Amino acid sequence: MEILTKYFADFTPTQLQQLQALEGLYKEWNEKINVISRKDIDSLYLKHVLHSLSIAAIFDFQPGMQVIDIGAGGGFPSVPLAIFFPEVQFHAVDSINKKLTVIQEVAAGAGIPNITTQHTRAEQITNRKFDVAVSRAVAPLKDLLSWSKHLLNKPSEVRKHFGAQATEDMEIPAGLICLKGGDLAQEIHDSGRKPFIWPINEIFPEEFFNEKFILQVK
């Protein structure tokens, strides 16, 4: 938990309780359904929670926004983001149903009401629209763009959530925002797009975040 309060100073008492609950819940459920590698579970707050919250360090999601987590796995980045943004609705989708069980149980145990799950592939969802799609290390950028394109509202629609405070130069969370690592040159080239890129080690100067990045394609 100390690694979180090192970089974020304004958690509410409720958020602190929810964040503190994650360790025990993930350790319990990871024994039943493996969603986090055994060597990483003891570094949950650095490698999973803080990594997910790097998105919150760049983007300010607004009340009423709808966010889809594509290939949500055990709930990263959606579970930490749902705690950070309690008035934003998160929808975690994955093709492996047992992983969604972990998200459901963790959310229930930690008292996180603003996250729902769906056992499906993102490309098969046809009846909903979202302001933002988030993803962590799921698939190449080209595929993520293909899967999410039909799900996303236009940036002009997303901007309405910001009302009078919206400015042209602010970082509006819209489109696809994903967490990726390593040499991304070929992957970006193959996508045919030029994403905005933020090195996470410039946000959180920890060795773990070297060569890890936030990418956004509006």
Q: Kindly give the residue spans of alpha helices, DSSP state H, lying in the chain.
A: 2-7, 13-32, 44, 51-58, 78-84, 97-110, 141-148, 155-159, 185-191
DSSP for 135-146 reads: EESSS-HHHHHH
166 is in an annotated binding site: no
136 is in an annotated binding site: yes
| CA distance readout (Å), 153 to 59, 160, 180, 198 | 17, 11, 23, 23
Helices (H) and strands (E) in the chain, counts: 9, 7
Residue 77's closest CA among 97, 54, 99, 61?
A: 54
122 is in an annotated binding site: yes
Size of the chain, expressed as the number of residues it contains:
218
71 is in an annotated binding site: yes
10 and 83 in contact (C-beta within 8 Å)?
no
Q: Cα torsion for 10, 12, 15, 16, to the nearest 10°?
A: 80
Q: CA-to-CA distance for 188 and 182, rounded, in angstroms?
A: 12
76 is in an annotated binding site: yes
Query: Annotated binding site: which residue ranges?
Result: 71, 76, 122-123, 136
Query: Annotated binding site for S-adenosyl-L-methionine: which residue ranges?
Result: 71, 76, 122-123, 136
